[in-house]
């Protein structure tokens, strides 16, 4: 139930697991988590998203929590490339996520496109934003504001990402040059 | 109602609308929620509370109160966020993003990223659907008949020259084409060491001209030649040895290929 994708979103909801495994499903998941350690995998529980800026904690019930199986460790750049991720795209996703987090979880789409554009080129920024929205890393609400998506909540350790950014020091000026549009479009 | 009262009401309405607009901008993350002085906002609402006459006035007053309440909520959320480990000022984040390289940013993401394991699989329902589709599908020859394509020719073998003629494959590899064009450019530059850009890219037809322009753009990007501008004229200067820029072309210079420019070229 956790490994196989049955709908648009992978993983399984609490109530699905309860129906399939019975009331003691939490213990079974704990055991599964223990067994998956050898494969460098883990079971991750994602609470349902809080609907409001002002309320703390999950407001939907435990029944709506979703469980995923994810990599316990992290990927090396080479491994990420083998999964089909380009360095540009990873950098763009990092930039988009930290900006949204710094703005308390919501940011204007245009602002995000400008920030991504500085790293990946203006035209690629538009397509990358669509890709991030489609894959669930970001979500757009009815007011047109972009917020963190379900996949970010499941896959990203945001405190670690923010900490790395806060502790970082700038690289040499050559490597931080923005990408020219033509160069980006040739690559992509 | 006296004229003074009317003016008073009008200015009050405008103030409330401005207050609502500010609150909306704060909600849309354009400004820091603490930009709004809540005490001042409430005093504005209070000041105009005795001028509420119509239903619209009351609705406006209500909208102003709820907008201020939302901003108070955002201020509370902001304080909670500031005390969490995720807090970094957005302007500082932007500065950091500008100064960091793509490689550094990608590395940060990779160090905090635990991708989900997702497996695609066949389900009984999708297998059944596929089987039904396959069984219902007409044979290749039946489907071909519907397209009225005439008699069917059996597949034949062909060679590269034939495919090149059909424009399915290129006769020469791209790098080879660039090399040939570079040699041509050096030859045509001669002792002057420059060639007019438009003279050089112009070919017998438009498609060929565009192809040559594209090849020339790569010659310049990869450091095989320089593009110089003098007044309204552009010149190509071939280099004896290619000098590639490791970090890519330092600037982008779009050249529209217009009919007028081609006519002007010899």
**DSSP symbols for chain B:** --HHHHHHHHHHHHHHHHHHHHHHHHHTTSS-GGGS-HHHHHHHHHHTGGG--SHHHHHHHHHHHHHHHHHHHHHHHHHHHHTSTT---HHHHHHHHHHS-HHHHHHHHHHTB-PBP-B----HHHHHHHHHHHHHSPPHHHHHHHTT--SPPPP----HHHHHHTTSS-SS-HHHHHHHHHHHHHHHHTTTT-EEHHHHH--SSHHHHHHHHHHHHHHHHTTSEEEEEETTEEEEEE-SS----TT--S--------HHHHHH--
Longest pairwise C-alpha distance within chain B: 97
Question: What are the φ/ψ torsions at residue A42 (nearest 5 degrees)?
Answer: -150, 160
Average per-residue pLDDT for chain A: 81
Q: Tell me how far apart the alpha carbons of residues B103 and A91 are, in angstroms, rounded to a whole number.
A: 7
The per-residue pLDDT for range B82-115, each reduced to its tens digit, is 766 677 888 888 888 888 988 899 999 999 999 9
Q: Tell me how far apart the alpha carbons of residues A48 and B195 are, in angstroms, rounded to a whole number.
A: 66
Q: Tell me how far apart the alpha carbons of residues A76 and B126 are, in angstroms, rounded to a whole number.
A: 36
Neighbours of B250 (CB within 10 A): 9
The alpha-helical segments, DSSP class H, found in A12-64 are 14-21, 25-36
B26 close to B67: Cβ distance less than 8 angstroms: no
Give yes or no for residue A70 having a pLDDT over 90: yes
Chain B CB within 8 Å of residue A116 CB: no
Q: What is the CA A9 to chain-centroid distance, rounded?
A: 13
Give yes or no for residue A175 having a pLDDT over 50: no
DSSP symbol at A156: B
Chain B interface, best mutation among A53, A83, A174, A177, by max B CB count within 10 A: A53
Contacts of B87 in chain A (CB under 8 A): 102, 162
Q: Tell me how far apart the alpha carbons of residues A104 and B80 are, in angstroms, rounded to a whole number.
A: 10
Window 67-86 of A, Cβ < 8 Å to B: 68-77, 80, 83
Closest chain A residue to the Cα of B105, Cα to Cα: A91
Chain B CB within 8 Å of residue A96 CB: no
**B150 Ramachandran zone, left/alpha/beta (phi>0; psi -120 to 50):** left
Contact (CB<8Å) B108/A168? yes
Question: What are the φ/ψ torsions at residue B265 (nearest 5 degrees)?
Answer: -70, 150
Average pLDDT over residues B164-180: 77
pLDDT confidence tier of residue A154, bands split at 50, 70 and 90: very high
The predicted pLDDT at position B113 comes to 94
The predicted pLDDT at position A170 comes to 67
Tell me the nearest-neighbour CA distance from A23 into chain B, angstroms. Answer: 25
**B91 Ramachandran zone, left/alpha/beta (phi>0; psi -120 to 50):** alpha
Q: Tell me how far apart the alpha carbons of residues B82 and B238 are, in angstroms, rounded to a whole number.
A: 58
Give yes or no for residue B67 having a pLDDT over 90: yes
Overall size of chain A counted in residues? 188
State whether the Cα torsion B67-A104-A150-A42 is positive or negative: negative
The predicted pLDDT at position A27 comes to 92
Tell me the nearest-neighbour CA distance from B246 into chain A, angstroms. Answer: 10
Give yes or no for residue A133 having a pLDDT over 60: yes
Closest chain B residue to the Cα of A75, Cα to Cα: B110
Chain B CB within 8 Å of residue A142 CB: no
**Pick from A62, A136, A64, A63: nearest CA to A93:** A136
The per-residue pLDDT for range B223-257, each reduced to its tens digit, is 888 888 887 788 899 988 877 665 555 667 788 88
Give yes or no for residue A5 having a pLDDT over 80: no
Contacts of B94 in chain A (CB under 8 A): 99, 115
Closest chain B residue to the Cα of A186, Cα to Cα: B218
Domains with residue ranges and CATH for chain A: 12-73 (no CATH), 78-187 (1.10.10.10)
Q: Which helix (H) or strand (E) holds A41?
A: strand A41-46
- How far is CA A15 from each of CA A58, A63, B116, rounded to the nearest angstrom? 16, 5, 20
To the nearest whole percent, how much of chain B has pLDDT over 90?
A: 16
Tell me the nearest-neighbour CA distance from A157 into chain B, angstroms. Answer: 5
Tell me the nearest-neighbour CA distance from B23 into chain A, angstroms. Answer: 14
Q: Is the ipTM of this complex over 0.90?
A: no
B57 close to B13: Cβ distance less than 8 angstroms: yes
Overall size of chain B counted in residues? 266
Where do we find the tokens 């005439």? B150
Smallest Cβ distance to B93: which of A80, A102, A106? A102
Contacts of B247 in chain A (CB under 8 A): 174-175, 177
Contact (CB<8Å) B100/A170? yes
* Tokens at B252, concatenated: 């982008």
* Tokens at B94, concatenated: 């932007």
Q: Which helix (H) or strand (E) holds A106?
A: strand A106-108
Where do we find the tokens 């791209």? B174
Domains with residue ranges and CATH for chain B: 3-82 (no CATH), 174-264 (1.10.10.580)
Window 7-36 of A, Cβ < 8 Å to B: 10-11
Give yes or no for residue B72 having a pLDDT over 80: yes
pLDDT confidence tier of residue B189, bands split at 50, 70 and 90: confident
Contact (CB<8Å) A91/B106? yes
Tell me the nearest-neighbour CA distance from B241 into chain A, angstroms. Answer: 23
* Tokens at A101, concatenated: 């987090």
Smallest Cβ distance to B29: which of A6, A70, A106? A106
The predicted pLDDT at position B14 comes to 87
């Amino acid at each position: 139930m956790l490994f196989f994708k049955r709908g648009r979103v992978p993983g399984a909801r609490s109530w699905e697991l309860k129906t399939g495994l019975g009331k003691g499903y939490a213990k079974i998941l704990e055991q599964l988590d223990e067994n998956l350690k050898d494969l460098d995998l883990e079971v991750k529980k994602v609470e349902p998203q809080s609907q409001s800026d002002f309320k703390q904690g999950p407001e939907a019930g435990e029944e709506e929590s979703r469980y995923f199986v994810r990599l316990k460790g992290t990927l090396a750049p080479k491994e990420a490339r083998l999964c089909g991720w380009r360095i540009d795209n990873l950098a763009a996703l990092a930039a988009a996520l930290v900006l949204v987090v710094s703005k308390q979880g919501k940011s204007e789409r245009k602002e995000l496109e400008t920030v991504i554009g500085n790293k990946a080129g203006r035209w690629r920024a538009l397509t990358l934003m669509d890709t991030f929205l489609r894959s669930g890393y970001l979500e757009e609400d009815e007011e047109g504001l972009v917020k963190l998506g379900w996949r970010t909540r499941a896959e990203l350790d945001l405190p670690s990402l923010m900490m790395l950014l806060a502790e970082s020091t700038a690289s040499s000026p050559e490597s931080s040059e923005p990408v020219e549009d033509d160069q980006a479009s040739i690559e992509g | 109602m006296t004229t003074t009262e009317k003016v008073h009401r009008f200015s009050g309405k405008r103030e409330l609308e401005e207050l609502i607009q500010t609150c909306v901008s704060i909600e849309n993350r354009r400004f820091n929620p603490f930009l709004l002085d809540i005490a001042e906002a409430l005093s504005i609402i209070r000041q105009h509370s005795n001028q509420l006459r119509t239903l619209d006035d009351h609705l406006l007053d209500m909208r102003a109160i709820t907008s201020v309440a939302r901003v108070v909520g955002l201020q509370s959320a902001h304080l909670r966020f500031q005390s969490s480990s995720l807090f970094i000022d957005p302007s500082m984040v932007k500065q950091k993003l500008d100064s960091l390289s793509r490689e550094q940013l990608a590395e940060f993401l990779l160090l905090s990223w635990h991708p989900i394991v997702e497996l695609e699989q066949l389900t009984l329902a999708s297998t059944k659907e596929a089987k039904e589709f396959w069984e219902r599908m007409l044979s290749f020859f039946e489907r071909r008949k519907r397209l009225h394509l005439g008699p069917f020719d059996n597949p034949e073998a062909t060679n590269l020259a034939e495919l090149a003629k059909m424009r399915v494959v290129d006769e020469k590899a791209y790098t080879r084409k660039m090399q040939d064009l570079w040699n041509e450019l050096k030859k045509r530059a001669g002792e002057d060491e420059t060639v007019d850009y438009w003279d050089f890219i112009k070919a017998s037809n438009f498609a060929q001209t565009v192809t040559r322009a594209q090849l020339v753009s790569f010659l310049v990007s990869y450091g095989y030649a320089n593009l110089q501008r003098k007044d309204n004229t552009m010149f190509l200067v071939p280099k004896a040895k290619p000098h590639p820029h490791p970090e890519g072309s330092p600037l982008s210079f779009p050249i529209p290929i217009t009919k007028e420019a081609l006519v002007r070229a010899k």
